[in-house]
Amino acid sequence: MSMRLSTVILPYRRWHEGGRAAWQRAEELGFHTAYTYDHLSWRSFRDGPWFGAIPTLTAAAGVTEQMRLGTLVTSPNFRHPVNLAKELISLDDISGGRVTLGVGAGGNGFDATVLGQEPWTPRERADRFTEFVPLLDRLLTEDGTEGVSYAGDFYSAHEARNIPGCVQRPRLPFAVAATGPRGLQLAARYGQAWVTTGDPKLYERGTPEQSRRALRDQVEKLGKACADLGRDVDAMDKVLLTGFTPDRGRPLESVDAFVDFVGKHRELGFTEIVIHWPIPDSDFAADTRIFEQIATEAVKQLESGSF
C-alpha cells in the first residue's frame, strides 16, 4: 500500500479571510486529503474564532475538485448518529463522493461537557462509542424506505430514512481512531482506516524511539483485532496524525527531517501521514515555505516510492 501525505486545516479563520484560500492551496499542493477537527472549541483556540466542521467541509467541497475531505475526528461528545448521518450523506453528495469520516470516542476537556453532561469516564466513552459506530454504519448503508430503527442504552433511532444514501458505496469510509481494545475491535470491524496520534503518555517526556515502539505495539494490536475477525490488516490504511508525539514539530523543520520521519513510520506499517497546516503562535507553528516544500517535494517522493 502506497504512502500518502495529508493535512489538517483547523477551522479558526473566517472563510473569506483566509479560510477558503487554505483549502484551495492544499489541493494545489497535492495533499491526498484535507481534514478538519470536529470540535465546538479546542485548547488554546477556545477563546477565539472557531467554526463548525461540516459547514466548513461543505464550503471546501465547493472550491476543490479532486482532494478528499474529512473530519479528524468526530466523536459522541456532542454528536448523535441520526443527525450526523444525514449531514454526512449530504456532504458526500455535494463533494461528489470525496468524504472520509474520522471518528473516535472523544476525550475530556474542551467541548466534552458543552451539552451540560458530567464528564464521562474512559469506560463510559467506550460504551457510547461501541453503540455510536455500529448505528452510524447502519444509518449510512441501509437507505431503503423502511428506515433504520434501533433502541440502545445511549442512542435510539425510529424509522430514520437516509434516501438516497452515500455516493460512495456501500457508504463513505470510516477512519476509526483507537488505541484501546474495544476501540481497536471497532476499527477492525468497521474501519476502512485506523487513526492514531501515538501514545499520549510519551508526549512530554518520551523519546522518538519510545514513541515508535509504542506505535509498533498499537499496529500489532490492530493486527490481532483484525485477525480475530478474519480480516487482513494490510488491507487497512493506517493513519498517523502528527504533532502529538515527542518529535512535535521537528519533522517540519526541513524536507530531509520530514523524509526521515516518514521513512521510519512507513517501516511500522503506516500508509498516511497527516501534518497540520501552519498556525502562527500556536503548537502548530511552522515555516510556511518549508511546509510547502515538504508538501510538493515529499509528495513526489511518496508517489515515486523513493522513501
Contact 247, 208 (CB under 8 A): yes
Dihedral sign, Cα of residue 292, residue 74, residue 203, residue 214:
negative
Q: Phi, psi at residue 30, to the nearest 5°?
A: 95, 15
- Note the pLDDT of residue 248: 85
Q: In this predicted structure, what is the pLDDT of residue 22?
A: 98
Position 122, amino acid: P
Whether cis (ω within 30° of 0) applies to the bond prior to 251 is: no
8 Å CB contact between 135 and 155 = yes
pLDDT of residue 208: 96
Q: What is the DSSP letter of 144?
A: S
Alpha-helix runs per DSSP H in the chain: 20-29, 53-63, 81-94, 122-141, 181-190, 208-228, 255-266, 288-293, 299-304
| 10-residue mean pLDDT series, the chain (307 residues) | 91 97 97 96 90 98 98 96 98 98 90 89 96 98 94 97 97 97 98 97 95 98 98 97 93 94 95 97 95 89 64
Residues for the chain: how many in total? 307
- The superfamily (CATH) of domain 4-304 is Luciferase-like domain (3.20.20.30)
d(CA 180, CA 299): 32
Rg (CA), the chain: 19
In the chain, where the domains are located? 4-304
Strand 272-276, strand 4-8: pairing: parallel
pLDDT tens digits, one per residue of 267-300: 999 999 999 999 999 999 999 999 999 999 887 7
Q: pLDDT tens for residues 77-134?
A: 999 999 999 999 999 999 999 999 999 999 887 788 889 988 999 999 999 999 999 9
Q: Which of 26, 33, 7 is nearest to 192 (CA)?
A: 33
Measured N-to-C along each axis, helices 181-190 and 122-141 cross at an angle, to the nearest 10 degrees, of: 10
* φ, ψ for residue 193, nearest 5 deg: -145, 160
* Whole-angstrom distance, CA of residue 290 vs CA of residue 272: 20
What is the rounded CA–CA span in Å between residue 98 and residue 191? 16
Nearest to residue 34, comparing CAs of 12, 1, 56, 3? 56
Enter the C-alpha cell of residue 21.
484560500
Residue whose C-alpha cell is 493506517: 238
